[in-house]
């Protein structure tokens, strides 16, 4: 099973700051073995410059979002083809901030997944429940709906290219983190859903990331869970030293 550590920079870093970060990250990871696959998701303005810096390294680049259309009169939007041409291998789709702040619903997220796949990008599908939904014991119902509607009409050949990221909305940017057992419980549910919807083999091969206030201090405990295959990191990915410590979590547990 692959392990992936992805950093979502959100609306942070100028081009100069992003390039400096990419250079420093490349330098710190050069020659290291036994570490997870690493992905960074800069803002759109820095996608190409960061991709150029990281070309030939072990670090891959993701878009933070894409539009579902290939082209057209969609002011301010970026297509999957544009992101791919800018140097992206991955695209984050359905992040809770896109769902809550920009009103993106599962039907649109499904279209974005199809667009990403058609352009040759590997989607990182974000799913997760709000605090109210968790307190009302609706977590599994919400996760199941997001998976059913988000992956609607996609075959196994498409789904096997998708990474799933479980990000409880109540833990994103709040400093609150699901306990390792809470996170594992949902990851196990996701893997079980994939086994029923697709196949046991595909379920076991799917990378499922955890996101929500991941830090160097809690990364090891979270990723030691059997169904957690890495992390999608926000704030802690903005600092090179912090991000590298998480990437090297298997060597720094207990720090």
Q: 3-state DSSP call for residue 51? A: helix
pLDDT of residue 254: 42
Q: 3-state DSSP call for residue 253? A: coil
Asked if residues 255 and 249 have their Cβ atoms less than 8 Å apart, the reply is no
Domain containing residue 174: CATH number? 3.20.20.70
Q: 3-state DSSP call for residue 225? A: coil
d(CA 25, CA 121): 23
Element of type H or E holding 192: helix 180-197
Number of domains present in the structure of the chain = 1
Element of type H or E holding 100: helix 96-101
Structure token digits, residue 225:
């869970």
Global pTM?
A: 0.95
Considering only residues 34 and 66, tell me which one the structure prediction assigns the higher pLDDT.
Answer: 66
167 is catalytic: yes
Range of the domain at 111: 4-252
Give the active site residue among 67, 68, 95, 104: 95
Find how far residue 105's CA is from the centre of its chain: 18
Q: Which of 76, 51, 64, 46 is nearest to 112 (CA)?
A: 64
Specify the range with the lowest mean pLDDT, choosing from 45-49, 78-82, 116-120, 217-221.
217-221
d(CA 201, CA 160): 10
71 is catalytic: no
pLDDT of residue 252: 54
Asked if residues 83 and 47 have their Cβ atoms less than 8 Å apart, the reply is yes
Give the active site residue among 68, 129, 167, 248: 167
pLDDT of residue 51: 98
d(CA 246, CA 59): 14
Res 4 pLDDT > 90: yes
Which stretches of 30-79 are DSSP H helices?
A: 47-54
DSSP summary character for residue 161? T
pLDDT digits (tens, 9 = 90+) for 53-80: 999 999 999 999 999 999 999 999 999 9
Give how far Cα 42 sits from Cα of 34, 83, 128, 227, Å: 25, 11, 22, 27
Which stretches of 35-135 are DSSP H helices?
A: 47-54, 80-85, 96-101, 106-118, 131-135
Q: Which of 161, 255, 252 is nearest to 205 (CA)?
A: 161
């Amino acid at each position: 099973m692959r392990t992936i550590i992805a950093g979502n920079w959100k609306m942070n870093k100028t081009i100069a700051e992003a390039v400096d970060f990419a250079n420093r990250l490349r330098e710190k990871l050069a020659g290291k073995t036994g570490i997870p696959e690493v992905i960074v998701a800069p803002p759109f303005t820095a996608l190409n410059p960061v991709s150029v810096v990281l070309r030939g390294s072990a670090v891959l680049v993701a878009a933070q979002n894409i539009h579902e259309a290939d082209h057209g009169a969609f002011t301010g939007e970026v297509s999957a083809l544009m992101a791919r041409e800018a140097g992206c291998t991955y695209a984050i789709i359905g992040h809770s901030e896109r769902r809550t702040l920009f009103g993106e619903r599962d039907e649109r997220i499904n279209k974005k997944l199809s667009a990403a796949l058609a352009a040759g990008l590997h989607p990182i599908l974000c799913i997760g429940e709000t605090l109210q939904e968790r307190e009302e014991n609706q977590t599994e119902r919400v996760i199941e709906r997001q998976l059913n509607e988000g992956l609607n009409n996609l075959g196994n050949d498409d789904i096997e290219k998708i990474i799933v990221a479980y990000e409880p909305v109540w833990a994103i940017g709040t400093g609150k983190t699901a306990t390792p057992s809470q996170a594992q419980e949902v990851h196990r549910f996701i893997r079980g859903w994939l086994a029923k919807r697709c196949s046991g083999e595909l379920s076991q091969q799917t990378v499922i990331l955890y996101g929500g206030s991941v830090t160097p201090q809690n990364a090891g405990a979270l990723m030691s869970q059997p169904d957690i295959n890495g992390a999608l990191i926000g704030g802690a990915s903005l600092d090179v030293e912090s991000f590298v410590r998480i990437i090297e979590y298997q060597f720094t547990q207990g720090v």
